[in-house]
C-alpha cells in the first residue's frame, strides 16, 4: 500500500513539474497585429451600430405611422389587429437585425483574431516543448507557482515582441 502512495506521489509531482503557465492576454495584446485587428473590429462595430440605428429609426417611423392610423376614429377592429401584426413584425425585424449584427461581429472578430491566436499558440507550443512542459495554462488559473514555470517572456521573445505586463 505504501508503494502505491509513493508511486502516486511521484506521478503527481512529475505532472506538476511538467506544468507551466503563460500570460495569454498580455501576450496577445502585445502583438503589433492585435492593435490593427482591434482597430478594424472597432470600425466594423461602428458601421454595424450605425446600420442598426438607421433600421431602428425607420422602424420607429413606421411604428409612429401605425399608431397614427390606429388613432383614427373610423378604424375597425380588423384594421387594429392588422396594425398590431405589422407592429409585431417590425419589432421582430429589429430583433433579427440585432442578432445578425452580433453574428457578423463575431465572424469578423474570428476572421481577424484567429490568425493571431494560432501564431501565439504555435509559439507557446514551441517554447513549452523546448522547456519540457506537458501542460501550459493561463495565468488566470494559477494560484501558486515556483520560479521558472512562467514562460511568458520566452514566448514573447519567440514572437519577437515586448511583453506589456500590466
Residue 64, in any domain of the structure: yes
Q: What is the pLDDT of residues 98-138, one digit of tens each?
A: 999 999 999 999 999 999 999 999 999 999 999 999 999 99
Task: Quote the CA–CA distance of 147 and 50 in Å, as a whole number.
Answer: 50
Residue 73, in any domain of the structure: yes
Q: Which domain holds residue 105?
A: 2-159
- Model pTM? 0.74
Residue 118, in any domain of the structure: yes
Residue 43, in any domain of the structure: yes
Residue 164, in any domain of the structure: no
Q: Is the dihedral of CA 125, 127, 130, 135 positive or negative?
A: negative
Q: What is the pLDDT of residues 74-89, one digit of tens each?
A: 888 888 899 889 989 9
**Which CATH number characterizes residue 121's domain?**
3.30.910.20
Amino acid at each position: 500500500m505504501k508503494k502505491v502512495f509513493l508511486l502516486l506521489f511521484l506521478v503527481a509531482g512529475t505532472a506538476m513539474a511538467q506544468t507551466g503557465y503563460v500570460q495569454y492576454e498580455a501576450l496577445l495584446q502585445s502583438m503589433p497585429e492585435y492593435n490593427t485587428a482591434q482597430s478594424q473590429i472597432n470600425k466594423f462595430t461602428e458601421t454595424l451600430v450605425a446600420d442598426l440605428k438607421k433600421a431602428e429609426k425607420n422602424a420607429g417611423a413606421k411604428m409612429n405611422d401605425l399608431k397614427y392610423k390606429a388613432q383614427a376614429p373610423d378604424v375597425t377592429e380588423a384594421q387594429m389587429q392588422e396594425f398590431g401584426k405589422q407592429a409585431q413584425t417590425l419589432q421582430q425585424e429589429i430583433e433579427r437585425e440585432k442578432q445578425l449584427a452580433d453574428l457578423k461581429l463575431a465572424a469578423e472578430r474570428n476572421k481577424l483574431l484567429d490568425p493571431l491566436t494560432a501564431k501565439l499558440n504555435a509559439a507557446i507550443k514551441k517554447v513549452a516543448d523546448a522547456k519540457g512542459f506537458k501542460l501550459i495554462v493561463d495565468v488566470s488559473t494559477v494560484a501558486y507557482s515556483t520560479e521558472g514555470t512562467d514562460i511568458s517572456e520566452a514566448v514573447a521573445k519567440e514572437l519577437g515582441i515586448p511583453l506589456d505586463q500590466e
